[in-house]
């Protein structure tokens, strides 16, 4: 299928750029780059679990997924993540960390760079499904449904793994059944561990 220049409308011709055979304009410097699209997905922590939505749109209508979506040209990935959460789960979130950055290969479409964040609902925030979601539900980490997209599965499983290693890093309670006035500080927790190992 022929492609055309976005500047002058001329039909593009093969052009070698940095060792790659691409299509370029015969009249100006326009090159049809095959760039990945950037998307975010957010693991939102709430009530001891994570918030998932069941999709009201294709692809994967009726399946569970993380809130998230494409990054617009005029925003950063962090802003996009917060915006998508507001649109899809109706709540303002605070991003609390990066889970990872993922390459999502596609055959029939541009590949994607997926940015997985962890977040929490801002105090007082209420969850309400946006128009792209049939319903929302908070799932416990040991009772997660299958997700619609492999990238979301990967991000959620990386999140669960990081939670597990965090829990492992926490010191055991100071005596089973003993009343704890406060959690030990991270510094104390570390030095306690060092002594006991």
DSSP state of 147: B
CA distance linking residue 78 with residue 92, whole number of Å? 13
CA distance 57 to 101: 25
Residues lying near Zn ion in the complex (CB under 5 A): 5, 7-8, 10, 25, 27-28, 30
The token pair that represents 148 in the structure block: 């619609």
- Residue reference for tokens 């994570």: 50
Q: Which is nearer to Zn ion, 10 or 141 (CB)?
A: 10
Rounded Cα distance, 14 and 25, in Å: 9
Closest residue to Zn ion, judged by C-beta, is 5
Smallest distance, Zn ion to C-beta of residue 11, A: 10
User: Which tokens is 71 given?
Assistant: 């990054």
Nearer to Zn ion, 8 or 61 (CB): 8
Minimum CB separation from Zn ion for residue 9, in Å?
A: 7
First-last CA distance in the chain: 66
What sign results for the dihedral spanned by CA atoms 19, 23, 29, 35? negative
| 30 or 159: CB nearest Zn ion | 30
Q: Quick one: 6 or 174, whose CB is closer to Zn ion? A: 6
CB 130, min distance to Zn ion, A: 40
């Amino acid at each position: 299928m022929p492609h055309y220049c976005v500047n002058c409308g001329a039909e593009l011709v093969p052009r070698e750029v940095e060792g790659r055979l691409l299509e370029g304009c015969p009249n100006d410097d326009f090159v049809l780059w095959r760039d990945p699209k950037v998307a975010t997905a957010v693991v939102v922590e709430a009530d001891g679990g994570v918030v998932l939505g069941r999709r009201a749109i294709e692809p994967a209508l009726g399946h569970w997924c993380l809130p998230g979506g494409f990054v617009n040209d005029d925003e950063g990935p962090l802003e996009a993540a917060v915006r998508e959460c507001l649109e899809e789960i109706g709540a303002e979130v605070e991003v609390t960390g990066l889970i990872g950055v993922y390459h999502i290969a596609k055959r029939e479409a541009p590949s994607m760079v997926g940015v997985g964040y962890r977040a929490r609902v801002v105090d007082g925030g209420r969850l309400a499904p946006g128009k792209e979601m049939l319903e929302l539900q908070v799932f416990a980490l040991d009772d997660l449904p299958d997700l619609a997209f492999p990238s979301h599965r990967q991000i959620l499983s990386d999140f669960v793994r990081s939670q597990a290693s965090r829990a492992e890093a926490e010191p055991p309670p100071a005596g089973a059944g003993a009343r704890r006035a406060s959690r030990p500080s991270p510094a104390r927790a570390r030095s306690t561990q060092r002594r006991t190992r």
